[in-house]
């Protein structure tokens, strides 16, 4: 019978960060944090949230970095499928562990079953090699926090740290920096996307001695300890309720909010002695290593209230979460996009006319690039070389007069919505930033940018927000590589334009900026459960937010159009909602007397619809709550 080819698809969970950072952090070159799958019988099999099957190359990991040929199998398909079914009870989401029992464990077992061969050692040996480095040991507690204790802990011994440039050997274990922690979070997120329930499954542990219990109490922010004993009937009754309650409190988060620890005092007698447990069941609750409360007895109501109180102590809610906000909490966080492609034949015809008027003749390659762009947008076919497109953009915008640029920009603002364009400009967006720089109310001759060109640059800027990584890295962050200054200047200039359509599009851009900040705050709130410590460093920049809100408030005072007013208010609300305790925004809005501004808008019927009125109410409530 004919054989069936077996291949291993190799992916890098770190998206290239391991290759860049590993030598400086570990002293070893690590080219990737490997995820593998097995492709056979026309399907891709992999382990994550149980055993999963997809069309080859269509999983959430994208395209493989490498395809490894494992040879041929001569087993019938029905035999293989029977084997896969038999392994589903072995490879469950609950058992997933980043180091010990992961996708590579599964791929290795499948390849041995099909071909008798193992996947390459450099893939399966990576966890133990990583843990033999001092840096690996420093990250181990965080990995175990996410996935549970590792079996490799007792079998790996850190190797000596590499000598420094001066020849001396560092004495200290390297401390994880922001970049390395970001890499770990990214790898964990990619891994957890295949095993989302692992956090709640690992949220209840057992401690068999005092040392183990004390380690848990001191390692986690919130810990609930259940002291039990053999032959205790009430303990057997309350135990499943305790386990389920702890798991429920951790459900839907990517980090452990509360750890439950079960201690059998008939085994861990030293723990019972230290904590003076005289009867079981006894429950004790710890916040940052300090006991905050305890009670005895199998009382489910008291257990639940004690756990809730502990969580409130450990993770106090943001003050805004205590308000009844009718619009802010339910508002969409999707950006406003200008995704109507328009009549490209007419747009292209207008561009060709302008090129002729300005005495510009395109090369054969430039004509081909423009035609391919039209085909990609209209027919959703073809592949556009983005380097060629950017060269075309640079050449034509330099040669075309400002008033003749808008047809080209109209095509560009539609093209930037595509995935290929997003990937390209995530690597190099200087060309887009340069376009933003060209918009000005008046140049040295007192001439402002023509409306049509101005509008297309604003719409282009709005459409960038379809690509989260691009915009949060290069246009709303304060990273050294960011072009936020150009975006901000474009926004500030446009908010006060004379033309209503320009102001409306500028208000959309301001709204989109606020969505990135709010999205990061909501994500961190969900992950940590801590409303008092939210925001991401690159987006949570108080000076920038003050600059944007100052411009928005200036525009709001002068604005008479209800739709524009609505967008400006939505922008303010999103920047304000869940703002950190040290944010200047509430004081700024109070100093600018936003309450009076809103009252005037109501009197003049600029704010009249129910949704806008409720949004104005929400803003006033948040400012009042935040200002001391």
Active site residues: 35, 103
**CB neighbour list of residue 53: distance below 8 Å, 6 or more residues apart:** 43, 44, 45
Q: Is the peptide bond before 281 cis (omega within 30 degrees of 0)?
A: yes
Q: What is the 3-state secondary structure (H, E, C) of 222-290?
A: EEEEEEECCCCHHHHHHHHHHHHHHHHHHCCCCCCCCEEEEEECCCCHHHHHHCCCCCCCEEEEEECCE
Distances (CA, A) of 549 to 15, 104, 462: 35, 49, 18
592: tokens are 């600018």
What does 75-108 look like in DSSP terms, one character per residue? S-HHHHHHHHHHHTTTS-GGG-BTTTBSHHHHHH
- Strand 66-73: give its sheet, edge to edge: 50-54, 43-48, 34-40, 4-12, 66-73
Q: Taking Cα atoms as reference points, which of 584, 591, 580, 587 lies closest to residue 628? A: 587
- Strand-pair category, 4-12 with 34-40: antiparallel
Decide: helix, strand or coil at residue 46.
strand
Q: Taking Cα atoms as reference points, which of 236, 256, 237 lies closest to residue 246? A: 256
116: tokens are 């008798």
CA atoms within 13 A on the CB side of 484: 22
Q: Report the C-alpha gap between 304 and 288 in whole angstroms.
A: 20
| Phi/psi at 218 (5° precision) | -85, -15
- Residue 335 host element (H or E): none
Decide: helix, strand or coil at residue 216.
helix
What does 479-507 look like in DSSP terms, one character per residue? -TT--HHHHHHHHHHHHT-SSHHHHHHHH
Cα 418–Cα 503–Cα 439 angle in degrees, nearest 5: 70
- Strand 259-264: give its sheet, edge to edge: 204-207, 259-264, 222-228, 282-287, 290-296
């Amino acid at each position: 019978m004919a054989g069936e080819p077996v291949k291993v698809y190799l992916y890098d969970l770190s998206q290239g960060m391991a290759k860049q950072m590993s030598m400086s952090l570990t002293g070893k070159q690590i080219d990737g944090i490997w995820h593998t799958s097995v492709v056979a019988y026309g399907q891709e099999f992999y382990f994550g949230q149980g055993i999963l099957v997809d069309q080859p190359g269509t999983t959430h990991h994208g395209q493989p970095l490498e395809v490894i040929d494992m040879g041929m199998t001569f087993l019938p398909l029905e035999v293989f499928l029977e084997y896969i079914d038999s392994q589903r009870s072995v490879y469950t989401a609950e058992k997933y562990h980043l180091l010990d029992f992961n996708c590579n464990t599964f791929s290795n077992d499948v390849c041995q079953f099909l071909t008798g061969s193992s996947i390459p050692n450099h893939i399966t040996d990576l966890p133990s090699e990583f843990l033999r480095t001092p840096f690996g040991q420093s990250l181990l507690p965080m990995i175990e926090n996410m996935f549970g204790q590792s079996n490799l802990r007792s079998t790996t011994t850190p190797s000596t740290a590499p000598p420094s440039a001066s020849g001396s050997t560092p004495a200290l274990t390297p401390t994880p920096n922001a970049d390395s922690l970001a890499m770990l979070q990214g790898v964990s997120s990619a891994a957890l996307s295949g095993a989302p329930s692992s956090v709640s499954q690992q949220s209840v542990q057992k401690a068999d001695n005092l040392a183990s219990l004390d380690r848990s109490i001191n390692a986690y922010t919130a810990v609930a300890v259940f002291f039990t004993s053999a032959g205790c009937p009430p303990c057997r009754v309350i135990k499943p309720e305790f386990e389920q309650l702890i798991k429920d409190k951790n459900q839907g988060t990517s980090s452990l909010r509360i750890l439950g620890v079960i201690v059998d005092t008939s085994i861990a007698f030293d723990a019972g002695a230290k904590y003076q447990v005289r009867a079981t069941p006894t429950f004790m609750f710890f916040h940052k290593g300090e006991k905050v409360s305890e009670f005895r007895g199998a009382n489910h109501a008291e257990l639940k209230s004690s756990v809730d109180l502990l969580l409130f102590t450990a993770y106090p809610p943001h003050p805004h979460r205590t308000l009844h906000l009718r619009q802010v909490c339910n508002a969409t966080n999707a950006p406003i996009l200008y995704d109507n492609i328009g009549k490209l034949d007419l747009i292209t015809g207008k561009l060709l006319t302008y090129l002729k008027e300005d005495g510009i003749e395109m090369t054969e390659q430039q004509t081909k690039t423009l035609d391919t762009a039209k085909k990609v947008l209209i027919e959703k076919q073809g592949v556009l070389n983005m380097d060629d497109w950017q060269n075309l953009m640079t050449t034509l915008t330099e040669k075309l007069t400002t008033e003749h640029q808008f047809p080209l920009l109209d095509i560009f603002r539609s093209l930037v919505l595509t995935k290929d364009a997003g990937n390209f400009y995530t690597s190099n967006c200087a060309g887009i930033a340069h376009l933003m720089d060209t918009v000005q109310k008046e140049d040295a001759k007192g001439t402002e940018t023509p409306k049509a060109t101005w509008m297309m640059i604003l719409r282009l800027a709005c459409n960038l927000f379809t690509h989260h990584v691009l915009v949060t890295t290069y246009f709303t962050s304060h990273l050294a590589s960011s072009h936020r200054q150009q975006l901000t200047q474009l926004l500030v200039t446009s908010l006060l334009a004379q033309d209503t359509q320009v102001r409306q599009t500028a208000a959309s851009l301001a709204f989109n900026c606020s969505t990135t900040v709010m999205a990061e705050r909501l994500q961190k709130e969900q992950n940590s459960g801590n409303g008092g410590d939210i925001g991401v460093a690159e987006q949570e920049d108080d000076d920038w937010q003050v600059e944007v809100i100052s411009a928005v408030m200036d525009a709001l005072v002068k604005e008479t159009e209800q739709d524009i007013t609505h967008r400006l208010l939505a922008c303010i609300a999103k920047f304000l909602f869940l703002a950190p305790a040290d944010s200047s925004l509430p004081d700024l809005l109070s100093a600018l007397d936003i309450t009076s501004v809103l009252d005037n808008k109501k009197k003049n019927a600029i704010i009249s619809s129910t949704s806008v009125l409720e949004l104005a109410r929400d803003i006033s409530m948040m400012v009042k709550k935040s200002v001391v």
